Structure 1
C-alpha cells in the first residue's frame, strides 16, 4: 500500500483511488484502443500515396514500395469542382450546426421549465417524431413542391436542423444541471426570458451544446443523401456526394469493357487507379473533420457524463 500511495498525488483520499496495477491496465487498454483507431487511418493515407500496380500486386502496405501521387492527380483533375464542393460542405456544416444548436436549444428550454403549462404536450410532440415519420415521398414533396428548395443550398441544411433525440438530451441537461434558484434570482433582478436564456442558460450549458454540436457537425459533413435527392447538377453538391459519384463512375468504367473500348476509340485512356483513389477520397474527405475533435473534446467529455451520480 505504501508503494501505491507513493505514486498517488498528494492531498487526495487513497480510498477513492484505483490501485496502481488497475490504473496501468486502464492506460494500456486505452492506448491499444487508440492505436486501433489511428493505425487504419495511417494505412489508408499510405495506400493513397502508393502506386496502383503495387497495391494490386502486393496488397496494402504501411510503407509504399513506390511513392506515387497519381491518385491525387486523378482526383484533382477537376480542381474547381472539388474546391466548390468543399466550400459547399463547409458552409452547410458551419451554418447548419449553428442554426441547429440555436433552434434545438430554444425548443428544449421551454419544455424543461416546470412552470410552462404545455411542456408535456410539446415533449410528447417531439418524442412522437422519433417513433413515426411521414415517409420518403411526402418528405420529398414538402421540400420540393411546397417549399421550392430543389437545387438550393437550403435543401442541404433544413432537413437536418432538428433532431428529436438531441432536443430531449438538451432538455434533460437543462432540467438536471441549471439550478432553478439561478433563474428565479434573474427574474427578481428584472431579467426577461430571452436574457436569461442567452446570458445564463447557454453559458452554463456549454458541455451539452458542444457534444450536440460535434454530432451535428459529423452529420452535416458526412451527408451525401440530400445532395443525391435535391441537387440535380454539380453546382451545389457536397464533397461527400461528389466523391461518391466519382467512385461510382470509376467503378463503372473500370468494369465495363464496352465503355472502355468507346473511350479508347475516341483517343482517351482507361487507366483508373481505383484502389488508391478510394483511399485518396477517404483522406480528402476526412481531413477537415479531424480538426473539429480537439476543439470539442474538452466539453464533449463533460457532456457524456451528464446525469452521472456523484458521491
Structure 2
C-alpha cells in the first residue's frame, strides 16, 4: 500500500515537472521575438542583407542607436511629452469615464437608458476628421498645444460601457448600507465603488497608457512645434529622413553615395526598442489585475 502511494506521488511529480517544462518552453516563444528585435537592432546592416535576421549578430554595431539618439535632447523631450500626456491623460480619462458610468449603473437613475443609448450611438457614428479638426483648432483653440493630446480623448464609449458593466456586478447592499450611514453619492463612489473596482481600473488604465503612448496621429495633424512632438511621431520622422537620405544615395553617381548610406533596416528595430522599452516596466504592476479585468465584459450584459 505504501509502495503504491509513493509510486503515485512520484508519477504525479513527474507530470508536474513535465507541465512546468512545457510552459517554460512555450513562454520562450513569446520572449524570442523580442530578443530577435534587440539582436537585429545591434547588428550590422550589411550582415543583415547578406545573412538575414539572426538571433546572435555576426558583428555588433551600434550605428542604428547613434542615428536615433543623434539629438538626445529632442529624444528626451519627446519622452517627457509622451509620458506626461500618457499618464495624465489616462488618469483623467479613467476618472471621467468611471464618474460617467457610475450613475448609468444605478437602476434608479431616471435618464439611464437615453444617456446609455446616446453614448452607444457615438460608437457607430462620428463627426469625422475635418469637423473634429475645425472644432479643436478654431473653437477649442487646442491646436499646437499639449492639451490636444489629453482632452479630446478623455472618454471612450466602449470603456464607459465596460465600467458600467463592472459596477453593475458589485453588490448593491454595499450602497444601501452606506446610504443608511448617511453617505452621499459621491462618497459612495469615491470610498466604496472605486476601491472595489481595482481590476477594471487597472485594465482600462493599462489599455489607456498603451494607446496614448503609441499616439502619433494627433501630432501629425495638430502639432507644428517640434518641442511638442510625441516619441512615436519623432521616431517616424527620423525614419522618414533616413529613408530619404538612403534613396538620395542610391541615385547619386558611383562613389559619391557611399558616405550617405544609412542602415534603415536596423534603425527600424532600434526605434521599436526605444519606443517599447519603458512600457515593459509598467506592465508587471498591472499584471495581477489584467487577467481578471479581461473577463469583465462577459459577466453581465
1:151 match: secondary structure: coil
Unaligned segments of structure 2, at least 5 residues: none
Q: Which residue is 2:77 aligned to?
A: 84
How many residues are aligned here?
A: 294
Q: Which residue is 1:158 aligned to?
A: 151
Q: CA deviation at 1:206?
A: 0.3
Alignment of 1:112-123 (within 5 A): 112-123=105-116
Q: Which residue is 2:264 aligned to?
A: 274
Unaligned segments of structure 1, at least 5 residues: 10-19
Q: Which residue is 1:217 aligned to?
A: 209
Q: Which residue is 2:286 aligned to?
A: 296
Q: Which residue is 2:244 aligned to?
A: 252
Alignment of 1:126-141 (within 5 A): 126-141=119-134
Q: CA deviation at 1:4?
A: 10
Q: 1:123 to 1:72 in 2, by over 3 A?
A: same
Q: Deviations over 1:225-265 (max 9, x none)?
A: 0110110131101000111111111112212358867xx69
Q: CA deviation at 1:36?
A: 2.7
- Is 2:42–2:62's contact at 8 Å kept on the other side of the alignment? yes
Q: Which residue is 1:38 aligned to?
A: 31
Q: Deviations over 1:31-79 (max 9, x none)?
A: 4553332211110101111112211221111111111111111111111
Query: 1:4, 1:139 → 2: CA distance?
Result: 71
Q: Deviations over 1:3-36 (max 9, x none)?
A: 8984899xxxxxxxxxx979966983x5455333
Q: 1:138 to 1:33 in 2, by over 3 A?
A: farther
Choose from 96, 108, 129 the match for 1:103.
Answer: 96
Query: 1:142, 1:189 → 2: CA distance?
Result: 46
- Is 1:210–1:296's contact at 8 Å kept on the other side of the alignment? yes
Choose from 237, 241, 252 the match for 2:233.
Answer: 241
Q: Determine whether 1:48 maps to 2:61.
A: no
Q: Which residue is 2:295 aligned to?
A: 305
Q: Determine whether 1:172 maps to 2:157.
A: no
Q: Which residue is 1:203 aligned to?
A: 195
Choose from 262, 277, 286 the match for 1:287.
Answer: 277
Query: 2:221, 2:166 → 1: CA distance?
Result: 35
Q: Which residue is 1:229 aligned to?
A: 221
Q: 1:119 to 1:248 in 2, by over 3 A?
A: same
Q: CA deviation at 1:275?
A: 1.1
- Is 1:82–1:239's contact at 8 Å kept on the other side of the alignment? yes
Coordinate RMSD, CA, aligned: 2.8
Query: 2:250, 2:125 → 1: CA distance?
Result: 46
- Is 1:210–1:300's contact at 8 Å kept on the other side of the alignment? yes
Query: 1:256, 1:148 → 2: CA distance?
Result: 39
Query: 1:24, 1:52 → 2: CA distance?
Result: 41
Q: CA deviation at 1:273?
A: 1.3
Q: 1:63 to 1:184 in 2, by over 3 A?
A: same
